[in-house]
Structure 1
Amino acid sequence: MGKIMLELDVMMARRHMSLNDLSDKVGIANVNMSKIKNNKVNAIRFSTLAGICEALECEPGDILKYDPNGESEEAE
């Protein structure tokens, strides 16, 4: 089965936004935003995704990517 990947680092670089700034704007802890950024989560709340998109002025499809060959870390 494929894997959904978050490409926050790409959009953050385009928007010149640091992890600390994004965490503050979304209202979640820096450590949790870091886990999201580094694809170390299995799920994300729609409210968090909406906050990220608002802060980065983007659409979910700009940061969500599907890798058909990717395997979840649970399978490793």
Structure 2
Amino acid sequence: MFTSRKPSSDEAWEGVVVDRSRGLTDGSNLYRYLTVRLSTGETRKIRVDRGLWDSVAEGDGIVKTAGSEPTKR
């Protein structure tokens, strides 16, 4: 069984990017991931679009509000 890395639309959190990665996890599509340390101390790996992945670096803050996609802080 696979785990979806796409954040749910009703989630709300903020955190700091600790790692960036990408891969062909299904063999045909390139997916981009950020590992984020949330303000609660939890670390999560999330799938993001190319625009956000290109605009952030390790140490940058990102925010996810309910009903929207993650954005750079």
Q: TM-score, normalised by structure 2?
A: 0.24
Q: Which has the higher contact order (CA 8 A, sep 6+)?
A: 1
Q: TM-score, normalised by structure 1?
A: 0.23
Greater per-residue strand proportion? 2
Greater per-residue helix proportion? 1
| Higher gyration radius (CA) | 1
